[in-house]
Amino acid sequence: MKTALLFTTYNWPDALQLVLESLLNQSQLPDEVLIADDGSRAETKEIITRYASKLAVPVKHIWQEDLGFRKSEILNKAVAASTSDYIVQIDGDCIMHKDFIKDHISSAEKNTYLYGSRVNILPNAVNAVMEHKIINFSLFSKEIKNKTRATHIPLFAGFYKSHAGISKKFRGCNVSYWKSDFIAVNGYNEAFQGWGREDSDLAIRLGNSGVMAKRLRYMGIVFHIHHNINSKENLEANDRIQKETIKNKVIRADKGVDQYFSI
Quick check: helix, strand or coil at residue 130? helix
**pTM recorded for the entire structure:** 0.95
* DSSP-assigned beta bridge partners for residue 34: 6, 60
The Cβ of residue 141 has, within 10 Å, a number of other Cβ atoms equal to: 17
DSSP 152-220: --HHHHTT---BSS--TT--TTEEEEEHHHHHHTTSS-TT--SSSSHHHHHHHHHHHTT-EEEEE-SSS
Quick check: helix, strand or coil at residue 259? helix
Rg (CA), the chain: 17
The Cβ of residue 258 has, within 10 Å, a number of other Cβ atoms equal to: 14
Tens digits of residue pLDDT in 23-59: 999 999 999 999 999 999 999 999 999 999 999 999 9
Tens digits of residue pLDDT in 123-170: 999 999 999 999 999 989 999 998 999 999 999 999 999 999 999 999
- Residue 177 CA neighbour count, 13 Å, CB half: 28
Query: In angstroms, rounded to a whole number, what is the distance separating the alpha carbons of residues 22 and 156?
Result: 24
Query: In angstroms, rounded to a whole number, what is the distance separating the alpha carbons of residues 15 and 94?
Result: 8
Tens digits of residue pLDDT in 159-197: 999 999 999 999 899 999 999 999 999 999 998 887 778
CATH code linked to domain 3-260: 3.90.550.10
Position 174 scores a pLDDT of 98
Tens digits of residue pLDDT in 74-112: 999 999 999 999 999 999 999 999 999 999 999 999 999
